[in-house]
Amino acid sequence: MDVYVARQPIFDRNKKLFAYELLFRDGLSNCFPEIEGDVATSKLLTTSFFAIGIDRLSNGKMVFINFTKESLARKIPTLFPKEKIMVEILETIEPEEQVVKACQDIARKGYQIVLDDFLYKPELQELIALAKIIKIDFRLLPIEEIRKLVEKLADSQVKLLAEKIETYEEFKVASEMGFSYFQGYFFSKPEILKSKEIATSKLHLLHIISEVTKEEDYSLEKLEDFINHDVSISYKLLRYINSVFFRRIQYISSIRQAIVLLGQKEIRKFILLVATAELACEKPAELIRTSIIRARFCGLLGINRESNMHSELFLLGLFSIIDAILDNRMAEIMEKLPLSESIKLALIKGKGELSDYLKLTSSYEAGSWKECSILASNIGVNKDKIPGYYIEAVSWADAYPVL
């Protein structure tokens, strides 16, 4: 049976990546299966650590994983490296004596305990004492109720994580309230709602992006000359081509060799990615990583379509959060780029033949599996291949030396 695993980033107060939470589902064909939580957790752990490899999903960061009452009682978390996982206890788990004792043993072994979707109850005091992090859902409670919770927990040593933070304004509010960690896609939204002037250096990068997105082909010589005159791109290209992603015996030592090996389409993608990363240099690194994952994922979703559509989908994913990168309105940015009308329609208005590809990507990131299933059917994508496409996109993004 196919296993669907997505990840959501968790940031610290400096907007640096702290960890990922892994989201699990055992398949899209039955999005709400009658499956016991213990089976789900076992599948997630088996898939993450053995089938996929946890490092491919975590990029070397800690991962938050939900554990059920039964798996905690059996101390299943201790089967896995404490340097890799955070033991997340769901809000539905009652603090029974067996659970508390098991969590005490798990904590004594050096594992970090996280309480999910926290609502204060006196009977939770023993678990609060064990917890390193408590997660509070910003969509679940009014702000004033959250303030009261923060005050109630002020005397404990626990750190607070604000969950489902969707805007920078919410990030700032949570930060001012004393939260240490933040989960959600606030980083992929513009920090301001009104447009501002784009800096000259970024206009130059937009010009580079415009040049490589033109439909006419580049000659090998023109591409080689363009890359050779940019030390940063040259260095990053050679790092990328010699990375483990390609698994070759001999190293590539020249730009021409790299261009020939990658081919014209891939080298143009590379330049696009590097230039886009430079645009996002003042933003959280996860922002450009998300852009690259989306570019690859969208491209793979269209892999069986005509080649032009495949290229359009790659650009669609890459520019899907360009408004957050530049803190500007999407419509104004699109005026400066010679992209197809179908891409612009999807990015500006969320409409047209490409829009469902982007919606599917966003749904997968959020673990909205039911919506993924509907959208996959709408665009004729084999849903059994989607998990593989996502893992491939994550691995491909992590191979790019742009962060």
Domain ranges of the chain: 4-188, 200-399
| 99 residue type, one letter | V
By the 8 A CB rule, do 183 and 8 touch? yes
In order along the chain (403 residues), what is the average pLDDT of each group of 10 residues?
A: 77 94 64 45 58 72 87 85 90 87 95 92 90 94 93 90 93 95 90 61 72 66 74 79 66 80 80 82 86 92 75 89 89 84 95 95 91 92 90 84 53
pLDDT score recorded for residue 282: 79
200-399 shares the fold of 4-188: no
Q: Which CATH code for domain 4-188?
A: 3.20.20.450
Question: Is the entire prediction scored with pTM above 0.95?
Answer: no
Closest alpha carbon to 385 in 304, 274, 275:
304
DSSP state of 243: S
d(CA 387, CA 211) in angstroms, rounded, equals 33
d(CA 5, CA 44) in angstroms, rounded, equals 7
- On the CB side of 76, how many CA atoms lie within 13 Å of its CA? 22
DSSP state of 28: S
Q: Rounded to whole angstroms, what are the CA distances from 211 to 5, 51, 226, 281?
A: 37, 41, 11, 21
User: Could you give phi then psi for residue 289, rounded to 5 degrees?
Assistant: -60, -40
- On the CB side of 57, how many CA atoms lie within 13 Å of its CA? 29
Q: Rounded to whole angstroms, what are the CA distances from 73 to 99, 101, 335?
A: 6, 8, 58
Q: Which CATH code for domain 200-399?
A: 1.10.3210.10
pLDDT score recorded for residue 35: 39
By the 8 A CB rule, do 13 and 180 touch? yes
Residues 6+ apart with CB under 8 A from 233: 227, 271, 274
